[in-house]
Amino acid sequence: MQTKFLPHGTRDAWFAGGSPIALLETWTRSRKPADAVSDLAETPVRPAPSELLRRSLARGRLGHAYLFQGDSIEALETVAIEFVQALFCTQPVAGPDPGVAPAGCGTCPACRRIEHFNHPDVHWVHPESALRQIKVDHMRELMAEMALRPAEAGRKIAIVVGVDRMNANAANAFLKTLEEPPANSLILLLTTEPGRVLETIVSRCQRLSMGSGVPRIEPAVQSWVASVATASGSAPGKALLPRYRVLSEFLAVLGKVHEDIEERIEADSPIHRYPDAEPAQKKQWEKEMAGAVEAEYRRVRAAYLSGLHAWLRDVWATRAGAAVELFLPELKGATAALAARLTEPEARQNLEAWERTQGLLHGNVQESLALEVGLLRLNL
């Protein structure tokens, strides 16, 4: 969602601009489509998702690659399992609607092996290591499997859990397979953070949205968002002070986050286990470690940005009188207070400004500058 609001050229303009004022001008010039905010309130599609797929199957219109997005990875795995059972079951159960392909029975040997992750034609990839990353080796292994003939079923299935954890190398290696999958294969990609899935992957899949649409917000992020909400009430109006305070607190929080990640990843690195390794090997490990720290840091930072976005969305929804569930119900008081101080366009501008900040930080902009400009744009 973040990148959608970033028109082509904005990023270059950002680099060229330099000063915050130039950046603000760039920002003002590149307006986003007027209806972009409205889809925040949209209820995601919510028929039983595996039924939706079975409908496509019955019509003979099953795609070759799907991106499942939802709130819980376990729920998405369940949908994947149920659908693959429907494909491979030896005693499928037909429902009343002939437009929906029969479901798996759940008890035959094929169904059971699918459920226990040991069906020879269903290949799972999960993020691995302390970093929870999907690396190029995992994808190469998967692609080698997919290139083989099915062992017993009529097709081969690849299921990638947490595809947002796929690093760029892994994604690049996988693109060709995604574009021209082997005959009789089906690829299911699962994510709870669709905004973090590389665009090259997203654009090659059919997307299926499931779940409530309410984002999960980690406790650390929640408490930071609560501190922003408190600051917003402390000096209402156009005062810069609360926004600068929010900025400096946020930079401090991010600094700590970076430190913790570095510590954790360094402790996990083979450098300490193999002190006598070749210098070239050590250098390679160091490079990998730095890359891993950066990737993980960006992921956590994105969670903070999304947390604030969720609150700004609540403020906007409250101000607009939209009948939606609050993402942060515990901040209801502060949300209502800010909503009461803002006009509806101001509340909407907050969302737009923050979405732009998210989009810019997705690229390689200078973090503190992007955050300063982004936070100063907010009506708090």
Name the residues that contact Zn ion, by CB under 5 A.
Answer: 89, 104-105, 108, 111
Residue 173: half-sphere exposure toward Cβ, Cα within 13 Å: 16
Least spacing, CB of residue 373 vs Zn ion, in Å:
56
Give the containing element (helix H, strand E) for 236: none
Least spacing, CB of residue 90 vs Zn ion, in Å:
6
Least spacing, CB of residue 116 vs Zn ion, in Å:
13
Least spacing, CB of residue 72 vs Zn ion, in Å:
24
**Closest CB to Zn ion among 13 and 108?**
108
Give the containing element (helix H, strand E) for 286: helix 279-320
Where in 153-279 does DSSP place strands (E)?
156-161, 185-191, 206-209
Would you call 93 helix, strand, or coil by DSSP?
Answer: strand
**Closest CB to Zn ion among 88 and 327?**
88
Cα dihedral 195, 169, 140, 125 in deg (nearest 10): -30
Q: Is 151 exposed, middle or buried (0-12, 13-18, 19+ CB in 10 A)?
A: exposed
**Closest CB to Zn ion among 86 and 178?**
86
**Closest CB to Zn ion among 89 and 188?**
89
**Residue 297: which of 252, 257, 249 has the closest Cα?**
257
CA 280 – CA 291 distance, rounded (Å) = 17
Residues belonging to the chain:
380
CA 134 – CA 132 distance, rounded (Å) = 7
- Residue 306 backbone phi and psi in degrees, to 5: -65, -35
**β-strand partners of 166:** 134
**Closest CB to Zn ion among 81 and 186?**
81
Least spacing, CB of residue 183 vs Zn ion, in Å:
24
Structure tokens at 28: 């003002």
Least spacing, CB of residue 80 vs Zn ion, in Å:
15
Least spacing, CB of residue 269 vs Zn ion, in Å:
45
**β-strand partners of 70:** none
**Closest CB to Zn ion among 104 and 213?**
104
For the beta sheet containing 122-125, the strands, ordered from the edge strand earlier in sequence to the opposite edge, are: 122-125, 156-161, 185-191, 65-69, 206-209
**Closest CB to Zn ion among 114 and 302?**
114
**Closest CB to Zn ion among 103 and 308?**
103
Give the containing element (helix H, strand E) for 324: none
**Closest CB to Zn ion among 87 and 89?**
89
**Residue 140: which of 128, 155, 125 has the closest Cα?**
125
Least spacing, CB of residue 98 vs Zn ion, in Å:
20
Least spacing, CB of residue 89 vs Zn ion, in Å:
3
Would you call 97 helix, strand, or coil by DSSP?
Answer: coil
